[in-house]
Chain A
Amino acid sequence: MAAGRHSRLSEWFNRRGWSDIIISAPYIWLLLFFLLPFLIVIVIAMSVATRTPSAPPFGYGGDNPVLNFAGYARFFEDELYLRALVTSIINAFVAMILCLLIGYPMALGLTRMQSNWRNILLMLIILPFWTSFLLRVYAWMGMMGKSSWFNRLLTDIWNMVTPEGWAVSSIPMMHSNFAVVLVMVYTYLPFMILPLYANLERLDPTLDEAAMDLGTRPFGVFWDVTLPQSIPGIIAGGLLVFIPASGELVIPTLVGDAGSPMIGRVISDEFSSSRDWPMASSIAVALLLLMVVPTMIYSHFQTKAEHKPENRP
């Protein structure tokens, strides 16, 4: 009896045990390090803030309902949060579009380059990652400051090209959404270029020749052949820029306008300064639902559309 069970177990193990274990590894990882923490966040979001020293600043019960939705209510009622959300989305969206406009030609150029040059340039794109991210943001702060050579150069150019009365002593770049977008574009550009490059590099160059052969000029070839085939790369790069940019904390804190904070800054402030963990968690959950769920629905329909056989007679 015991021997029979043992052999059945080892049989299962040999037949599909290994593959099951290997396939389940990423799921277990996601469960432990994403789903479980996220469940904790959801639970905290529905608790009540408390001010007991040396204990987690949240609790249940008392006079409050067990499931407390006050945080969500405040998120949708208080203009501060919605404004922060809108600022985040706008900044992240503008950064994403600028990354696309700058990154697409770079990615396309890379694919058309001789392979020895291409590898050097790919290295250069990844190279900034080898220095500290904070250091690079501080470098931008120095550049944008009123007395920097960069600001003075731009000021001189501005004063030269604009009429008399428009002259300024410096260009106010720091502590603005402009500064946030600028630094985010700089930081996230590689995340746009790399997936786009991977996508464009796979395209067959004879398709371009075929289009030209059939009467299309080079710019039209880009429009008809290259662009439609690079949409998966644009979506991948766009998401890789937009999602982290919309939740960005460090860049808006260092170079942003304190008067119109981004949502990441708001969550951080609720968490540390106000010590209102339920509120911070509520914003985090709402943000996730507002940003990730539409993305998932979109990608679900995208894959469905791709696999649908167009088989009408």
Chain B
Amino acid sequence: MQDPFVRIEGVSKLFGAFQAVRDVNLTVGKGEIFALLGGSGCGKTTLLRMLAGFEEPSAGRIFLDGQDMTGVPPWERPVHMMFQSYALFPHMSVEKNVAYGLKHERMTKAEREERVRAMLDLVQLTQFAHRKPHQISGGQRQRVALARALARQPKLLLLDEPLAALDKKLREQTQFELMSIQERTGVTFIVVTHDQEEAMTLADRIAVMDKGQVRQSGTPTDIYEYPNSRFVAGFIGSITSFDGRVTAVEGEVSRVDVPGLGTEIVARSVAGAASGQAVTVALRPEKVTLTRDRLEGPNAIAGEIKDIAYFGKDSLYRVTLPSGQLIAVHGVNAKRAEAGRPDWHDKVWLSFDPAAAILLTE
């Protein structure tokens, strides 16, 4: 990441006694797609509205391209927003909607028409230019909203749940379209979403928010592989977690005693892990190997298969551990109709690499 293009410094927002956003610090690079990810009420939309200028921060400041945005009204910000409901003007045609922002630009009629044509081209809606918003489909409306927001060539485009109103198939296709349009225009995108898959696919970097705070920010890989807290680990992807206590820290790894498991877990150590500390070990289903015989290595737990969900290309096993806990294990069905494939009530061994186990102190 080069120079921070958007800088959010200690921003908080209070609505009466309710703290919607608390002390958020973030930077977004030029040309990046940045995702604010979190459940409803986590403050991500409030943060977006502060970027657009619809809300003023109660504390802290927002800089855009080096310029302090404090007190700058929405109509003077080089920031445009694509609303979740699209907010297309129902009394204007598609073309007039796209041209709307341009009436404040100093440009000739020909230039304006040219820009509108280019925008409609970009979202492939040229043939619908004269239709009203209620005469086109939901996916087309979404593209009109995008074209309208991009027409004035904003420095920053804010997208509020851009794909939430589309059905699953259209959503996947639109995701890649959004990315390619972002690449062609070079505009910095900040996307608000509650959908972790959407955030992972679209974004260069993600900030996971909870109760008004940013819990972790980083690339999708950072967030998935190296979550910094139980919350983030649980929010992104699925995990099985074991609560235990560190018995020893030996160089690279920590030994964790998990009551009732019958064996200790060896996990790659993290900064701040100390002997005697209460920790959580989180395991992703795809990082665990399921075998009939015990594999050599530090982590091996015995269990019994309780449930199998067969998806075709892969299967999800739910295995009961000696402690009674259930663990999810992901298995790829690499071979066709394998004879020895684990079955219901089979006794199996689960093993994983210490580096695959996520040690969480928070």
Q: Mask for A203-217, Cβ within 8 A of B = 1, else 0?
A: 010110111111111
- Is A209 a contact of B130 with CB atoms below 8 Å? no
- Is B131 a contact of A215 with CB atoms below 8 Å? no
- Is B83 a contact of A206 with CB atoms below 8 Å? yes
User: Contacting chain A: which of B74-82, B168-176, B266-274, B294-302?
Assistant: B74-82
Given known A-B contacts A209-B54, A309-B135, A311-B135, A214 and B148 have beta carbons under 8 A apart: yes
In the bound complex, CA of A228 to CA of B52 (Å)? 25
Q: Mask for A199-231, Cβ within 8 A of B = 1, else 0?
A: 000001011011111111100000011001100
Tell yes or no: A16 within 8 A of B by CB: no
Given known A-B contacts A206-B87, A310-B130, A310-B132, A213 and B93 have beta carbons under 8 A apart: no
- Is A210 a contact of B104 with CB atoms below 8 Å? no
Which chain B residue lies CB-closest to A215? B104
Given contacts A212-B74, A215-B76, 14 further A-B contacts (CB under 8 A): A206-B85, A207-B89, A209-B83, A211-B100, A213-B52, A213-B74, A214-B100, A214-B149, A214-B152, A215-B75, A215-B104, A229-B90, A310-B135, A311-B130
A209's contact among B74, B104, B131, by CB below 8 Å, is which? B74
Tell yes or no: A312 within 8 A of B by CB: yes
Tell yes or no: A61 within 8 A of B by CB: no
Given known A-B contacts A215-B75, A215-B104, A215-B152, A310 and B85 have beta carbons under 8 A apart: no
Tell yes or no: A26 within 8 A of B by CB: no
- Expressed in whole angstroms, the minimum distance between the Cβ of B164 and any Cβ of chain A is 14
In the bound complex, CA of A217 to CA of B79 (Å)? 15
Which residues A41-81 have CB closer than 8 A to chain B?
none
Tell yes or no: A4 within 8 A of B by CB: no
- Is B74 a contact of A225 with CB atoms below 8 Å? no
Report A-chain residues with C-beta under 8 Å of the C-beta of B93.
Answer: 310
In the bound complex, CA of A196 to CA of B183 (Å)? 46
- Expressed in whole angstroms, the minimum distance between the Cβ of B240 and any Cβ of chain A is 41
Report B-chain residues with C-beta under 8 Å of the C-beta of A312.
Answer: 130
Tell yes or no: A313 within 8 A of B by CB: yes
Report A-chain residues with C-beta under 8 Å of the C-beta of B52.
Answer: 209, 213
- Expressed in whole angstroms, the minimum distance between the Cβ of B180 and any Cβ of chain A is 24
In the bound complex, CA of A224 to CA of B75 (Å)? 14
Q: Mask for B125-138, Cβ within 8 A of A = 1, else 0?
A: 00100111001000
Which chain B residue lies CB-closest to A231? B91
- Is A204 a contact of B87 with CB atoms below 8 Å? yes
Report A-chain residues with C-beta under 8 Å of the C-beta of B139.
Answer: none
Tell yes or no: B60 within 8 A of A by CB: no
Given known A-B contacts A228-B91, A309-B135, A310-B93, A213 and B130 have beta carbons under 8 A apart: no
In the bound complex, CA of A140 to CA of B90 (Å)? 44
In the bound complex, CA of A214 to CA of B85 (Å)? 16
In the bound complex, CA of A207 to CA of B88 (Å)? 7
In the bound complex, CA of A216 to CA of B105 (Å)? 11
- Is B131 a contact of A214 with CB atoms below 8 Å? no
- Expressed in whole angstroms, the minimum distance between the Cβ of A307 and any Cβ of chain B is 11
Report A-chain residues with C-beta under 8 Å of the C-beta of B89.
Answer: 207, 210-211, 224-225
- Expressed in whole angstroms, the minimum distance between the Cβ of A302 and any Cβ of chain B is 14
Report B-chain residues with C-beta under 8 Å of the C-beta of A225.
Answer: 89
- Expressed in whole angstroms, the minimum distance between the Cβ of B202 and any Cβ of chain A is 21
B131's contact among A207, A212, A217, A310, by CB below 8 Å, is which? A310
